[in-house]
Amino acid sequence: MAVCGLMFIFTITDKNKSMSQIIQPQHVAFLKEAIALSRQFTPENGCGPFGCVIVKEGQVVGKGWNTVLHDKNPTAHAEVNAIAEACKNLNDYQLQDCIAYCSAEPCPMCLGALYWARVKAVYFANTRKDTAGAGFDDDFIYEELNVIGDARDIPFYHVPVDDAKSAFEKWQAQGTKY
């Protein structure tokens, strides 16, 4: 299954749609729910200022807020937490018919998680520039994605090891994957 169904709203118009076709009142309402989560869960209770709701057929199926500090887990972002709850509630590892509403433009990790979850669209309120203005370094990580291996701020080294591909070979040999 291709993952090209994901849509991010970056500009005022889409090539094929007007702004009014893209941003319907329900989108604003769900964004406000995500924003409310970002305000409710604050550093005082170990949370960062980010919220996300996952919606299927007009119903919220997953909610998440940033729990990085509380959980002492750098991957506990709002989107990742919302995806986990939605997948659990829907008893599925993919969210193909779902839309994610985020209080801010997802960071690169969450962008990847949203693609892996196969959501059909993502709407967000604050841009990555807004996020950078609040002291978060998402934009730096976006830039690092274009840097090669050991030139990155945290160097990455490829070390070929015998038998490293054996797990992939076993995976490919099995019939049904999921």
CA nearest to 46, candidates 77, 67, 74: 67
**H or E stretch including 126?**
strand 121-126
79 is a catalytic site residue: yes
Which of 44, 79, 85, 105 is catalytic? The answer is: 79
Q: Which residues of 47-87 form beta strands (DSSP E)?
A: 51-56, 59-65
CA angle 106/108/89 to nearest 5° reads: 55
Supply φ then ψ for residue 52, to 5 degrees.
Answer: -155, 140
79 within 8 A of 106, measured Cβ to Cβ: yes
Q: Which residues are designated catalytic? A: 79
